[in-house]
Amino acid sequence: MATLPLVVALNPSVDAEWSVPQIQFEEKNEIQSERRWAGGKGINVARWLRHLGTSGRLLLPLGGPTGREIAACLASERLDAEVVAIHSNSRVNVIVTPPRGHQMRFNAIPPRLSGPEWRALAGRVKELLPKSSMLVLSGSLPLGVPPDAYARLIRLANAADVPTLLDCEGPALVSGAGAAPLLIKPNHAELEAWCGFPLATEERVIEAARLLRACTGGWVMASGGHRGAWLVGPGEREIWSARPERTRPRNTVGAGDAMVAAAVRSITRGEPPAAWVAAAVSAGTASTCVDAGALPSAALLKKVRRGVRLTYVG
């Protein structure tokens, strides 16, 4: 069996986008159209991995009617997915998109996993790790899962000599960082919440990333939206920034997941760290140029990549 990245999506969803003529507070809002697709950070990463030409295995818990809808979506896309059945109904997240202005996003209450369901999922991760080139842990945690769930899975991966990429927030980020993943990818808000001070300048972003790196002992990729991303390595003089050309985004849903997938592809191909952040910013920026849930063309990806400016910060 081929060695592939293993993407664990603990809290998948159906993403439902409602298109509205405008958002009116304290008034009725008419939905003009609705699109639904399998979403959540881990599923987005798996979809992007395949789009970038790298196969991956997806492991996820699903339950109820929404879980069946997600499974049907994954089957129709022919994504390599293994399901751990749970009793709770999987969630539906809602994206409200007006013709102009900002999107609004509403994430539903996560499903609850029982103790046996969580142990079954963690046990399956352990079984699959020897056949995996990398472990990707992305997204929030469902109810019933221990807050250090990601830390436990990272330790399993480290014991199997499999590198991990972690993309999460809050307590899961705090505990996961201490388990020594190879790469951790917080966005601006997640890193700011973790370090406790505002990240108004590049210097402050790098300072916060260095503090987080001191916890992980590995690499930190701090993403900053249209400002690009900074990659801070274990060494004192291992810092790169990657900045895209300015674009007018159509949507920002899943941009961070595109970054994660591109970084995983770069890492598993044996490319140098500077290439990780350049590839990540290219994919993340391209993802904002298409509708939510859609994937950019190869031509668009190449165009965006040509506009990314990679700088060695030192």
- What is the side-by-side strand order in the sheet with 229-232? 81-85, 57-62, 4-8, 132-138, 164-167, 183-184, 219-223, 229-232, 239-243, 309-312
105 in Cβ contact with 94 (< 8 Å): yes
**Degrees to nearest 5, angle at CA 238 with 235 and 242:** 155
Residue among 284, 15, 287 nearest 167 (CA)? 284
> In this structure, how many other beta carbons lie within 10 angstroms of the beta carbon of residue 18?
18
Which amino acid is it at 169?
A: E
Q: How far apart are CA 305 and CA 115, in angstroms?
A: 45
Which stretches within 53-114 are classed as H helix?
64-77
**Which tokens in the block code for residue 157?**
């991966």
Residue among 131, 160, 128, 139 nearest 91 (CA)? 139
Annotated active-site residue 291? The verdict is no
Which amino acid is it at 198?
A: P
How distant, in Å, are the alpha carbons of 235, 267, 301 from that of 151? 23, 21, 33
- Residues labelled catalytic: 257
